Structure 1
Amino acid sequence: MRLTLRRAAAVPAFLLLLAAAACGEEPTLTPADAPSSAAPAVGGQTINIGPDQNRVRAGKVHAIAAQVPAAIAEDGKLTVGFSGEGSPPLVFPATDDTTLIGVETDLAQLVADVLGLEIAPENSSWENLFLGTKSGKYEVVFNNVTVTEERKDTYDFATYRIDQLGWQVIDSSPIKEIGKPADIAGLRVSVDSGTNQEKILLDWDEQNKQAGLKPAEIQYYHKYGDALLALKSGRIQAYFGPNPAIAYNIAVSGGSRIVGTASGAGPDLQGLIAAMTKKDNGLVKPVNEALTTVIGNGKYAEVLARWGLSNEAIPQSQINPPGLPRQGA
């Protein structure tokens, strides 16, 4: 769920993100020598990757703001956890290498606006987002978190995007399609630990073992850039991760392709990405209503279009919907 790209090169091919397919592999994802005017473009519109974002904003809705628990509202801030290691177009550093930007930060801003709170971003590792939310350090997390049944034991969720995963291979790979467990039998594949895609991959591998097929060789890389290096060098044959980040890398770099997509909640359920709060702390309902408000007034659609993710829009926000089944269930 991470990408080490710090700033994007000029990519008219970013249009491919909308089609959720394309080609890219070059792991040198820090083109600091790119001209400052070089920026990604979606549908002919240049994406602003500088620190001055001029974000889409929303107005305060007093009836919703009044529902925010007093302990959270008293400082006038909404502390939002992000993992800003770099995952365009989700969360990544702007050209100042400090300011966090992306679709997740924009949506968090809209929610804070409706709640009448100042957004207070906090940068963290992926794993610490969950620990920080559980401890109360982060009041809400916007970071491409998929709803799962296990996570619902500890956290509450308000959905805001569909969850799509992708399989990435280099252009010269003989692999044409990955769409079912048998397609990964005996392959060297990579995934990030502690993610929903890891759970799906482990389930596929277990199905293959029970069917007498050769197990996959699973390699773990914390950073997407490391996985790309492994892909280029042949240490792995395929990478399994969030489709938006893969498609962005593909559009920027060229040289690889997507050979399959999957729901982040497994084969029987469309995965959903959601804002995550501590269980029963009273915040999920106003967050859900804030999301419903910006979906209804068109601000939500503006944000998704800005980052080329209109195809991941949902018609309404839900609280704690069915999620990725428990492992082994």
Structure 2
Amino acid sequence: MFASSRRVRLLTSALTAAALLGVAACSSGADAGTDAATTAGYNLTADQNRITTDPVEEIAAKVPQEIRDRGTLVVTGSAGTAPPLRFYADDDTTIIGSETDFAHLIGNVLDLDIELTAADWAQNFVRVDSGEADVFISNVTVTEERKEKYDFATYRLDSLAVEVGKDSGVTFDGPEDIAGLTIGVGSGTNQEALLVEWNEQNVATGLEPAEILYYQNAVDYYLALGSGRIDAYVGPNPTSAFHVLQAGETEIAGTFSGAGLDLQGEIAVLTKKDNGLIQAINEAINHIIENGTYAEVLERWGISNEAIEVSRINPPGLPKTA
């Protein structure tokens, strides 16, 4: 992990570039211009001054009684630093980003405090399974396989990016373009499932196989990409777009839906199936969409192009692989 001062300099440089390019706008949720770690409407400090909304009693009443009595919604998510979605503030301790802002807004509506925790990707599912966490909010795509064990309430479109070294010559227009490449991806993610499926299809048609390598933390896969150990990294489009501006050494070769080529994927809050929580979360998300605070969070983090019009419970997801 980079030292705080190093990360703040990198993020500040990236965000300044974003402002010049017009891809980010200031928001009332950030105290712009008051700190060296605050640029172009992005507050990178532990004091987030988040966008908030009022509780809605009739929605809060639908939360299971055990959680209402506790007064806290325990939220787990990725431990890897992946701005602008979920990453560490300049104190190297406080988790911030769009995913945490959505968690806090949902907590506002449900009249619950939010307890943020972090774990490696696969362990987040284990935490929900065991009841250690109530929900998993960290760029989780709806898939048909996951729907067998979990309930989902959508809150954002899912787009993935193929990030490559600048001037590498690598392009991506479809699955055949991964042939022969060494590609990094997060283990246990839906993008891993897509890459494995596409690789099998390519080999079956006589194309050269891709080599897929697995990473848990952003610093690791970006070191691999920068050193040439991998030709490309496939991950969330917002994170790749942010990194392209931050580092200035990579570019996006192509984008695609997180549910594959034939279905627009959606990012959702995940909770244990039939635990009685998903209806309240779904209504809370639709409430913040209606009152405009949802759009403020998207704008705050420069991801307004991933907005949805309505939150859905358990919509069609990434199909199961054979």
Which residue is 1:92 aligned to? Answer: 87
CA contact (8 A) 2:158 2:266 kept: yes
Which residue is 1:47 aligned to? Answer: 42
Which residue is 2:306 aligned to? Answer: 312
Number of positions where the alignment pairs a residue of Structure 1 with one of Structure 2: 307
Which residue is 2:141 aligned to? Answer: 146
Change (3 A) 1:144 1:3: farther
3-state SS of 1:10 partner: helix
CA contact (8 A) 1:17 1:308 kept: no
Q: Residue 238 of structure 1: CA displacement?
A: 1.0
CA contact (8 A) 1:157 1:320 kept: yes
Which residue is 2:111 aligned to? Answer: 116
Once residues 64 and 290 of structure 1 are traced to their aligned partners in structure 2, the CA distance between those partners, rounded to angstroms, is 7
Look up the equivalent residue of 2:18 and give its one-letter code: F
CA contact (8 A) 2:153 2:270 kept: yes
3-state SS of 2:188 partner: coil
Q: Is 2:9 the partner of 1:14?
A: no
3-state SS of 1:240 partner: strand
Q: State the TM-score, normalized to the length of structure 2.
A: 0.91
Q: Residue 37 of structure 1: CA displacement?
A: 4.3
Which residue is 2:54 aligned to? Answer: 59
2:63 to 59, 64, 68: 68
CA contact (8 A) 1:84 1:93 kept: no
1:265 to 241, 250, 259: 259
Once residues 50 and 173 of structure 2 are traced to their aligned partners in structure 1, the CA distance between those partners, rounded to angstroms, is 37
Which residue is 1:227 aligned to? Answer: 221
Once residues 47 and 161 of structure 2 are traced to their aligned partners in structure 1, the CA distance between those partners, rounded to angstroms, is 31
List structure 1 segments (4+ residues) > 6 angstroms apart after TM superposition: 2-5
CA contact (8 A) 1:4 1:223 kept: no
Change (3 A) 1:37 1:60: closer
2:275 to 261, 281, 292: 281
Q: Residue 234 of structure 1: CA displacement?
A: 1.5
Change (3 A) 1:17 1:274: farther
Q: Is 2:131 the partner of 1:136?
A: yes
Report the RMSD for the aligned CA atoms in angstroms.
2.0
CA contact (8 A) 1:17 1:247 kept: no
Once residues 238 and 4 of structure 1 are traced to their aligned partners in structure 2, the CA distance between those partners, rounded to angstroms, is 26
Which residue is 1:82 aligned to? Answer: 77
Q: Residue 157 of structure 1: CA displacement?
A: 0.3
Which residue is 2:31 aligned to? Answer: none
Change (3 A) 1:87 1:3: farther
Q: Is 2:171 the partner of 1:171?
A: no
Greater mean alpha carbon deviation, residues 90-99 or residues 283-292 = 90-99
Kindly provide the CA deviation profile for residues 8-60 of structure 1, in whole angstroms up to 9, marking residues without a partner as x.
Answer: 232222356949xxxxxxxxxxxxxxxx944474xxx3310101111000111
CA contact (8 A) 2:38 2:45 kept: no
Q: Higher relative contact order by CA 8 Å / sep ≥ 6: 1 or 2?
A: 1
3-state SS of 2:125 partner: helix
Larger helix proportion of the pair: 2
Q: Equivalent residues in 2 for 1:201-240 (5 A)?
A: 201-240=195-234
Q: Residue 109 of structure 1: CA displacement?
A: 0.5
Once residues 60 and 118 of structure 1 are traced to their aligned partners in structure 2, the CA distance between those partners, rounded to angstroms, is 11
Q: State the TM-score, normalized to the length of structure 1.
A: 0.89
Look up the equivalent residue of 2:17 and give its one-letter code: A
Change (3 A) 1:99 1:171: same
Q: Residue 261 of structure 1: CA displacement?
A: 0.2
1:186 to 173, 176, 180: 180
Greater mean alpha carbon deviation, residues 230-239 or residues 204-213 = 230-239
Once residues 273 and 17 of structure 1 are traced to their aligned partners in structure 2, the CA distance between those partners, rounded to angstroms, is 25
Which residue is 2:99 aligned to? Answer: 104
Which residue is 1:298 aligned to? Answer: 292
CA contact (8 A) 1:166 1:261 kept: yes
Once residues 17 and 119 of structure 1 are traced to their aligned partners in structure 2, the CA distance between those partners, rounded to angstroms, is 32
Look up the equivalent residue of 1:268 and give its one-letter code: D
Q: Is 2:319 the partner of 1:325?
A: yes
CA contact (8 A) 1:10 1:39 kept: no
| Structure 1: runs of 5 or more not aligned | 20-35
Q: Is 2:165 the partner of 1:162?
A: no
Look up the equivalent residue of 1:116 and give its one-letter code: D
Q: Residue 129 of structure 1: CA displacement?
A: 0.8
Once residues 247 and 4 of structure 1 are traced to their aligned partners in structure 2, the CA distance between those partners, rounded to angstroms, is 22
- Percent identity between matched residues is 51
